[in-house]
Amino acid sequence: MILASLPEGRDGALRIVAPDRATATRAGAATFRALLDGASDAAAGGPEPFDIARCGAPLPRTGQFLDGSAYVNHVELVRKARGVPMPESFWTDPLMYQGCSDPFLGPADPILTDPTWGTDFEAEVAVVTGDVPLGADIDTARAAIRFVLLLNDVSLRGLIPDELGKGFGFVHGKPPSALAPLAVAPEALPGWDGDRLNATMCIDLNGAPFGRLDAGRDMTFGFPELIAHAARTRPLAAGTVVGSGTVSNKGADGGPGRTVADGGAGYACLAEQRMVETIRDGKPSTPFLKSGDRVEIWMEDAEGRDLFGRIAQDVKARSET
Amino acid sequence: MILASLPEGRDGALRIVAPDRATATRAGAATFRALLDGASDAAAGGPEPFDIARCGAPLPRTGQFLDGSAYVNHVELVRKARGVPMPESFWTDPLMYQGCSDPFLGPADPILTDPTWGTDFEAEVAVVTGDVPLGADIDTARAAIRFVLLLNDVSLRGLIPDELGKGFGFVHGKPPSALAPLAVAPEALPGWDGDRLNATMCIDLNGAPFGRLDAGRDMTFGFPELIAHAARTRPLAAGTVVGSGTVSNKGADGGPGRTVADGGAGYACLAEQRMVETIRDGKPSTPFLKSGDRVEIWMEDAEGRDLFGRIAQDVKARSET
């Protein structure tokens, strides 16, 4: 099953998208949230023409977004660039923060910047769960995964260090994230292995390839582990979004890898490329996002087929809006 | 206007409560969320008998709960007990974390404990906002306050230090919070001064007075400041809940105050009493919550009238459920 939402009202207008994406039908549930709450996912009415370019976020708002850092390689690189060793526990105890889930931006909504914010993207895979009981084990968590999403976790690097120092997580450093148009059920994703999505995470910055990463590789914690971690002391209500954190691949030599231009897999955020530059050159040379930049994020299966549609966001100065 | 919700469905069934609380009417909006989204707040139908004991949380789920630490006295005490100086910036830059907003527990739902969790209550005032634009100033923030709530921010002290060390905020340390039955509009609260609620926060533990605090005093940041802080890099959608953090009063001598039994205002969480014991005796003597304990939280105006109804939660071991 593939779902999308037209940008009507606060929760969008749900459509069930045909596998060829040429048509879509209404569902018994008027919104994705209603479907997650238990309303019918049966088609209601006949097929209508479907234009993916008209879609907003498939889930424009929900009760909870818990974002893990499953690609520990990314965390290790951040630490290395700061000259701080990474605790061994990070390989077994995931980092996770609660981010903004109301709203989620649509795939073509602008990213707002301020020159002091250090604006960055983070290309992530995410899942939407059904109800997950308090203290769920890994198998219960796995069974609760209902849909897979593609997400841009917009991150304000200039504001994050202060918030890390306070220890209370990110309120300023993590503004609303954007979602790609399609929410896809695991059974409609051949690369889904129950724990991870084996597919290529593609990022272009201003039309040039920035990342071509294997999302199924180097993901230390699978989604069931992230969900079980999140549910340790709270039940997760249906509609909870759990994110993978920035996708990140080690290089062939086990090191931080190379840019796409240099024959590597590249990176899924500017910060990681800047860290590699810092480790190599003593300082970063890649700038953060500025007004006029364009970020495109999509995923492809092994045959090069698009999975979720495309996030394509233009960067605008806050004062331009 | 006073609102309450009967515990039906995921969003509850909205009722407009008469000032005498003897009757209530249905509203044009079927749920509090729908009302916040813009559905009619006009009465629909005639008055029906109202039993506050039948109410669930007025807002059983919403898109965002941002909890500040507005009573900096509380933060200073925590630090003092740990022997760590508090940065001066904490007097001007509020601590704030994003907590669980789906679900909010009902006023009589149990608090689940595990002996290793160090379970505590935190009695807080909270507000529900309308839509707040990105970068809202203090006056815009003040005008966006739609309802006031009473909240128990259940806190797992045994799990918080590790999460503070990770810097990503609280996922395990802050399970779902409970709400008192009534959501009250500012104009129906004579003690509301636009920024703070001047009323007494009452806490009983196992039937004995634990706190009788002045919620309008020692609140370094008013709600408009907390809302503007939250909206610095994200718009706040209608239905956002912003919390005050644990209410805390200084003693008459400017020190940490005394217990209610000792003639003081007492405390709004166990941790604070434990801190005072630690500063005084070198170690805490008040235990955290254990199975069989009962926590009651309510607020009274200057004439002793109840404002929000009562949170009355029994503590249960996780294994008992």
Give the model's pLDDT for residue A320.
Answer: 67
CB-hemisphere CA count at 13 Å for A45?
A: 15
Alpha-carbon distance A285 to A303, whole Å?
34
Give the model's pLDDT for residue A321.
Answer: 56
Asked if A234 lies within 8 A of B175 by C-beta distance, the reply is yes
Alpha-carbon distance A129 to A136, whole Å?
12
Number of CB pairs < 8 Å for A and B?
119
Instruction: Name the pairing type of β-strands A178-179 and A145-152.
Output: antiparallel
Give the model's pLDDT for residue B79.
Answer: 80
- Residue A211: strand, helix, or coil: strand
Give the model's pLDDT for residue B155.
Answer: 97
CB-hemisphere CA count at 13 Å for B140?
A: 14
Give the model's pLDDT for residue B81.
Answer: 74
pLDDT per residue as tens digits for the range B60-72 = 999 999 999 999 9
Give the model's pLDDT for residue A71.
Answer: 96
Alpha-carbon distance A103 to A58, whole Å?
11
What average pLDDT does range B13-17 have in this prediction?
Answer: 98
For residues B240 and B279, membership in a common domain is answered with yes
Asked if A167 lies within 8 A of B165 by C-beta distance, the reply is yes
Asked if A233 lies within 8 A of B117 by C-beta distance, the reply is yes
Which chain B residue lies closest to A159 (C-alpha atoms)?
Answer: B233
CB atoms within 10 A of CB B92: 11
What average pLDDT does range A127-138 have in this prediction?
Answer: 98
% of chain A with per-residue pLDDT over 90: 88
| H/E run at residue B76 | helix B72-82
Residue linked to tokens 């799990």? B159
Q: Is the pLDDT of residue A153 over 80?
A: yes
Alpha-carbon distance A313 to A107, whole Å?
7
Asked if B98 lies within 8 A of A169 by C-beta distance, the reply is yes
The tokens of A294 are what?
């364009």
Interface test with B, best of A59, A154, A233, A246 (most B CBs within 10 A): A233
Chain A residue set in contact with B, beta carbons under 8 Å: 10, 37, 61-64, 66, 95-103, 112, 117, 134-135, 156, 159, 163-173, 175-176, 229-230, 232-235, 237, 239-240, 318
For residues B74 and B125, membership in a common domain is answered with yes
The tokens of A107 are what?
């795939």
- Residue B6: strand, helix, or coil: strand
CB-hemisphere CA count at 13 Å for B131?
A: 6
CA distance to A89, B118, B120, B259, B267, per residue, from B274 (Å): 29, 12, 11, 11, 10
Instruction: Name the pairing type of β-strands B294-300 and B311-317.
Output: antiparallel
Q: Is the pLDDT of residue B203 over 70?
A: yes
Asked if B168 lies within 8 A of A97 by C-beta distance, the reply is yes
Alpha-carbon distance A160 to A163, whole Å?
5
Q: What is the DSSP string of A266-315?
A: B-SSHHHHHHHHHHHHSS--S----TT-EEEEEEE-TT--BSS--EEEEE
Average pLDDT, chain A: 95
% of chain A with per-residue pLDDT over 70: 99
For residues B28 and B83, membership in a common domain is answered with no
For residues A256 and A174, membership in a common domain is answered with yes
B111-113 sheet: strands from edge to edge: B111-113, B311-317, B294-300, B200-205, B208-214
For residues B103 and B217, membership in a common domain is answered with yes
Q: Looking at this predicted complex, what is its ipTM?
A: 0.96
Among B36-45, B139-148, B277-286, the minimum mean pLDDT is found in B277-286
Range of the domain at B25: 1-55
Asked if A103 lies within 8 A of B235 by C-beta distance, the reply is yes
For residues B165 and B254, membership in a common domain is answered with yes
Interface test with A, best of B234, B246, B316, B321 (most A CBs within 10 A): B234
> Which positions in chain A touch B170 (Cβ < 8 Å)?
98, 168-169
For residues A265 and A183, membership in a common domain is answered with yes
What average pLDDT does range B114-132 have in this prediction?
Answer: 97
Q: What is the CATH number of the domain that holds A92?
A: 3.90.850.10
For residues B36 and B126, membership in a common domain is answered with no
Average pLDDT, chain B: 95
Alpha-carbon distance B126 to A74, whole Å?
37
Please, what is the angle between helix A270-281 and helix A72-82, to 10°? Answer: 40
Asked whether the beta carbons of A35 and A186 are under 8 A apart, the reply is no
Give the model's pLDDT for residue B280.
Answer: 86
- Residue A138: strand, helix, or coil: helix
Alpha-carbon distance A100 to B132, whole Å?
14
Contacts of A8 (CB under 8 A, 6+ apart): none
Alpha-carbon distance B99 to B186, whole Å?
24
Residue linked to tokens 């000032």? B19
pLDDT per residue as tens digits for the range A227-265 = 999 999 999 999 999 999 999 999 888 888 899 999 999
pLDDT per residue as tens digits for the range B75-89 = 888 787 777 888 889
Which chain B residue lies closest to A158 (C-alpha atoms)?
Answer: B233
Instruction: Name the pairing type of β-strands B155-156 and B200-205.
Output: unpaired
At B144, which amino acid appears? Answer: A
% of chain B with per-residue pLDDT over 70: 99
Q: Compare A279 and A311 and report the one with higher pLDDT.
A: A311
Asked if B172 lies within 8 A of A135 by C-beta distance, the reply is no
Alpha-carbon distance B21 to B77, whole Å?
39
CA distance to A246, B41, B180, per residue, from B49 (Å): 53, 19, 19
| H/E run at residue B279 | helix B270-281
For residues B151 and B221, membership in a common domain is answered with yes
For residues A311 and A181, membership in a common domain is answered with yes
pLDDT per residue as tens digits for the range B158-197 = 999 999 989 999 999 999 999 999 999 999 999 999 999 9
Give the model's pLDDT for residue A74.
Answer: 83
Distance from the Cα of A191 to chain B's closest Cα (Å) equals 30
Give the model's pLDDT for residue B254.
Answer: 80
Alpha-carbon distance B101 to B174, whole Å?
11
Q: Which of A55, A77, A99 is the last residue of a domain?
A: A55
Q: What is the pLDDT confidence band of residue B45, given thresholds at 50, 70 and 90? A: very high
At B202, which amino acid appears? Answer: C
Q: What is the pLDDT confidence band of residue A171, given thresholds at 50, 70 and 90? A: very high
Asked whether the beta carbons of B157 and B316 are under 8 A apart, the reply is no
Asked if B98 lies within 8 A of A230 by C-beta distance, the reply is no
Q: Is the pLDDT of residue A77 over 90?
A: no
Q: Which of B34, B55, B76 is the last residue of a domain?
A: B55
For residues A27 and A163, membership in a common domain is answered with no
> Which positions in chain B touch A64 (Cβ < 8 Å)?
100-102
Which chain B residue lies closest to A90 (C-alpha atoms)?
Answer: B166
Q: How many domains does chain B have?
A: 2
pLDDT per residue as tens digits for the range B206-249 = 999 999 999 999 999 999 999 999 999 999 999 999 999 999 99
Question: Which among A97, A71, A123 is positioned nearest to A269, based on CA atoms?
Answer: A123
Asked whether the beta carbons of B61 and B101 are under 8 A apart, the reply is yes
Asked if B234 lies within 8 A of A100 by C-beta distance, the reply is yes
pLDDT per residue as tens digits for the range B90-105 = 999 999 999 999 999 9
For residues B50 and B66, membership in a common domain is answered with no
Pinpoint the alpha helices (H) of chain A: 32-37, 72-82, 138-143, 160-166, 223-230, 270-281
Q: Is the pLDDT of residue B110 over 70?
A: yes
What average pLDDT does range A183-195 have in this prediction?
Answer: 97
Query: From the CA atom positions of chain B, what is the Rg in Å?
Result: 19
> Which positions in chain B touch A232 (Cβ < 8 Å)?
171-172
Q: What is the pLDDT confidence band of residue A85, given thresholds at 50, 70 and 90? A: confident
Asked if B100 lies within 8 A of A318 by C-beta distance, the reply is no
Which chain B residue lies closest to A173 (C-alpha atoms)?
Answer: B233
Q: Is the pLDDT of residue B282 over 70?
A: yes
Asked if B164 lies within 8 A of A167 by C-beta distance, the reply is yes
> Which positions in chain A touch B229 (Cβ < 8 Å)?
171
Phi, psi of B120 (to 5 degrees): -140, 160
Alpha-carbon distance B319 to B321, whole Å?
6
Asked if A234 lies within 8 A of B64 by C-beta distance, the reply is no
The tokens of A287 are what?
């700038």
CA distance to A5, A32, A180, A205, B171, per residue, from A53 (Å): 11, 18, 11, 20, 36
CA distance to A40, A158, A234, B269, B294, per residue, from B121 (Å): 39, 34, 16, 5, 11
Residue linked to tokens 């839509």? B131
Phi, psi of A305 (to 5 degrees): -80, 135
